[in-house]
Amino acid sequence: MVNGFPPGDPAAAPTIEQLLRRYAEALTPWAEATAARMLSDVNRRDEVAWMEQAKELSRALRQEIRTAPTGASMRALMAEQVGLIKSIPLDAAERVHRLTLEGIEDSTRASEISKAIQASGDVAKIRADLIARTEVARTASTLTEARALHVGSPGYFWRTSGDSDVRDSHRKMNGQFVAWNDPPTLDGMTGHAGQFPNCRCYPEPVIPED
């Protein structure tokens, strides 16, 4: 959309913004379908993992896991993910607006403004990748939390992916017990394992013996 306009023409910015905002609204049905597929896939994997771990548990507990009330979590995740998908073109529209105003205010050359605006596609791709990576892990963690709380789990042990890319604050959490009602604050953000941006950690729930 951005590249369809004359390079370096500040007059085109309002039209670009308008198109991107309309595109964000037009994305709603696709965003809902995409989020629903991802949620369904992660939910299925999470349930299979629970059933695998529950082989040695009682039949009653296995039934409890199957009937865990994950619906509310799924609905909340769905709404958040649709909003995140639609935010990509909205962020791009705001970026075009900001760059144009900055260029006018400090007399930046039109060619430089053009290059920055035309890079919006790359910026959007990076954000889309971040959302995809983060939301898959966050969904898995949130569904695990819902099922764990339903069967009376008090908390979990924090587990990392165990490689050199694990951030220092998360590495320090590895092996620590975390109560579900007391998520840690790391690097200025609060959440459970797997619920931070680009986080590949995961919760290992503690299941009550009875």
pLDDT higher at 66 or 129: 129
Residue 49 burial (CB count, 10 A): 15
Q: Which band of pLDDT confidence, cut at 50, 70 and 90, is reported for residue 32?
A: very high
- pLDDT value, residue 10: 65
Distance, CA of 34 to CA of 131 (rounded, Å): 13
Q: Name the pLDDT band for 123 (thresholds 50, 70, 90).
A: confident
Tokens of 42: 């992660």
Residues in the chain: 210
- Average pLDDT score over residue span 158-177: 94
Looking at per-residue pLDDT, the higher value among 110 and 71 belongs to 71
- For the chain, domain boundaries: 2-151, 153-210
The dihedral region occupied by 99, where left means phi > 0, alpha psi between -120 and 50, and beta the remainder, is alpha
Amino acid at 51: M
pLDDT interval class at 35 (50, 70, 90)? very high
- Model confidence at 198: pLDDT above 70: yes
Q: Can you give the pLDDT at residue 107?
A: 61
Distance in angstroms (rounded) separating the CA atoms of residues 94 and 21: 9
Q: How far apart are CA 124 and CA 90, in angstroms?
A: 10
pLDDT band at 6 (very low <50, low <70, confident <90, very high): low
- Distance CA(124)–CA(173), nearest Å, equals 32
Residues 139/38, Cβ–Cβ less than 8 Å? yes
The conformation of residue 208, written as its DSSP 8-state character, comes to P
pTM to 2 decimals? Answer: 0.74
